Each structure stands twice: as C-alpha cells, then as structure tokens.
Amino acid sequence: QVQLVESGGGSVQSGGSLRLSCVVTRGSFGRDCMAWFRQAPGKEREGVAALDYYDGRARNIVADSMKGRFSVSGDYTKNTLYLQMNSLKPEDTAMYYCAAVEPKEEYGCPGYWLPVSEYKYWGQGTQVTVSS
C-alpha cells in the first residue's frame, strides 16, 4: 500500500516562507504522477503544482496564481516531493495535500495535475496558516 506523509506546515506571517515535504513509501517515486493540492475552508480542493518525469526528465508546473512564489521539486534519493512556498499571503491559508497515481497506459503522466478524483493515493494533509 502506497503511503504519503506530508510535513512542514505551520503558521507564518504574510511574506514568510515554508517548505512542505511529502515522503512516499511503497510507491514508485520518479514514475508516478505526483501533485500538490490545497483546500481552504468552504472551498473545493484545488491543484497547486505537479511533478512527473518524461523521457528521463522532470517536468513541473505551478498554478498561475502561485507562479513566482511556489516551486515544486523532488528528491529521488529520499522519495520525497517538496513544495517551496515563498512570499506567502493570507489567501494561501489552507490544508495542503500531496497526491499520487500510477501513470496512465495511454499517455503516462500529463505534465500537470489531474482532477482530484483521478488520484489514487493521498496524504493526511498539513495545515498552512498565513496571518496578515
């Protein structure tokens, strides 16, 4: 059973930084389609960033509203997915989740995040709270 465990959340002031980690166990880090999502109270879960590997190269994408502030990366040696968040804003307050799914036979991984329902594995989430 694949397990995802997030950490790194916390409370920061506006303009601060956090780095979230997602450790993957019993999965195929580097082959699976990985993504970060977030969900604020009363809102739907939304895609933040995605990371996958195509033709031996890492591909990553960050949501437009977070480009320039957030970045996604992975460490093969530690089976860990990261989300570096800089210049945090109060509207970034949410529970952050990492998600994974095996690549699709038809196209592998898409190079961006899939719909929430497409992900087979989820972490428990880590809370990020940004105060003004």
Provide the phi-psi class of 87: left if phi over 0, else alpha when psi is between -120 and 50, else beta: left
State the pLDDT confidence band at 57, using cuts at 50, 70 and 90: confident
Instruction: Give the per-residue pLDDT at 111.
Output: 87
User: Contact, 131 vs 12, CB < 8 A?
Assistant: yes
Sign of CA dihedral 16, 67, 52, 99: positive
User: Contact, 2 vs 24, CB < 8 A?
Assistant: yes
Instruction: Give the per-residue pLDDT at 17.
Output: 98
Which residue has better confidence, 90 or 32? 90
Instruction: Give the per-residue pLDDT at 44.
Output: 97
Instruction: Give the per-residue pLDDT at 86.
Output: 98
d(CA 62, CA 105): 24
